[in-house]
Amino acid sequence: MPHCLPEQLALAALKEPLPADDAAHLASCADCRSEVRSLQRAVDVVAVPEFATPAAPVQPPASVWAGIAAATGVSAAPRAETHAVAAPSPVTARPTAPVAPPPAPPGSPAGGQVLPFRSRRPKLLLVAAAAVAGAVVGAGAVGLVRGGDDVEPVAAVALDALTDEPTSGRAEVVVRGDGTRALRVVLDAPDLDDEYYELWVIEPGVVDMVPLGVVRPGTQTFELPTGLDLGEFPIVDVSVEPLDGDPTHSGVSVARGVLES
């Protein structure tokens, strides 16, 4: 049977139901499951509440409506507060004299100029959505998966706090029956308001590092990239990252442990 189409893999990463044939193939194909796991990284970033919550709406200035009226010829201005649309009256309204449109703002060209609104939704939502789209066409992001197979760990390390914050945890390397590896992490850490935690594996010189995904307090399982040598990247690190869209390490680590080779 041919592999699942990219759009079906994307749906699976979003935990949407698949057609029976695609679901059966996905259950039996390690390559397709690996691709779904790689898409999970972008999906999980979008799921971070701090990324997904839009800002409060903002009342546009009066000059915006003046520009719209000047460009379209609308002869009435909106009321300052409109909370509901009243039911139409059965009585036919008598025609009234047209109202002159509001003057265009100073410096506007003849005929007026309508300026587009700028969205206040965090730009990081666009970054995350682009990551999902890029992954569908073949980007190989490392993914986060919930749960995991019930297997015994082959290595484990305690994650000790590096700051005064009560942050600690445990990381275990597990190997599944199909040979794929994962890092199962239990994190005990306070909730963050305008930041989030991210999991890394780092080489002893603390120069090269591999991000594994967004981590939250509790238990989660992260896929380990194929070919990654944990002997070269034995440090398991939890960092605090700002909501700035920068994928590099912030330099602020709160918990860390070293896997024994």
Could you state, in order of their start, the residue ranges of all structural domains in the chain? 142-261
pLDDT, residue 46, reads 59
For the chain, 261 residues long, the average pLDDT of each consecutive 10-residue run is 82 83 84 81 61 61 77 69 47 48 47 37 40 40 42 88 89 90 94 92 92 93 91 95 89 92 62
Tell me if the domain spanning 142-261 has CATH number 1.10.1240.
Answer: no
The sign of the CA dihedral 135, 138, 139, 143 is: positive
pLDDT, residue 50, reads 53
Residue 249 one-letter amino acid: H
Burial of 138 (0-12, 13-18, 19+ CB in 10 A): exposed
Pairing of strands 168-175, 153-161: antiparallel
